[in-house]
Amino acid sequence: MKFANVIAHQAEKKHLIHTVTENRISHAQMFLGPPGSGTVPLAIAYAQYILCQNKQENDSCGACASCTKIQKHNHPDLHFSFPIHLSKEKHIYKSDNVLADWREILDENPYFGDR
Ligand SMILES: [Zn+2]
């Protein structure tokens, strides 16, 4: 996902791009906001910008091999970890076990149905 596809968050986008151009990317960052506010798309756009092989001034290229992998949610350097409901019957104990569902949800609506 490119920054251009993230609704709102203009100040945050500018700040995140600045951290990359100034080579001051924090080793860990939290994107917090109410459900549907777009923090997940913003975090993915930031990861794509960081990993893009042909960065533009204000966005990732969206076309290089790295961008393509991120847009398919299968870049080897982008990992998703999220809380899940524990289920002994389905042996769902970690987010890796529901990653296919996660990718499908991201493809359908990265705002998780609130937009
Ligand atoms: Zn790219």
Mind listing the domains of the chain with CATH numbers?
3-108 (3.40.50.300)
Return d(Cα 38, Cα 5) in angstroms, integer.
Answer: 10
| Residue 92: strand, helix, or coil | strand
Q: How far does the centroid of ligand 1 lie from the alpha carbon of residue 24, in Å?
A: 20
pTM for the model: 0.86
| Residue 36: strand, helix, or coil | coil
10-21 and 39-51 helices cross at what angle (nearest 10)? Answer: 20
What backbone torsions phi and psi does residue 92 show, to the nearest 5 degrees? Answer: -100, 100
Contact yes or no for 51/70 (Cβ under 8 A)? yes
pLDDT in tens, the chain (115 residues): 999 999 989 999 999 999 999 999 999 999 998 888 999 999 999 999 999 999 999 999 999 999 999 999 999 999 888 777 766 666 656 777 788 888 888 888 888 765 4
Task: Write the single-letter amino acid at 70.
Answer: I
Q: How far does the centroid of ligand 1 lie from the alpha carbon of residue 105, in Å?
A: 23
Contact yes or no for 38/7 (Cβ under 8 A)? yes
Q: How far does the centroid of ligand 1 lie from the alpha carbon of residue 90, in Å?
A: 37
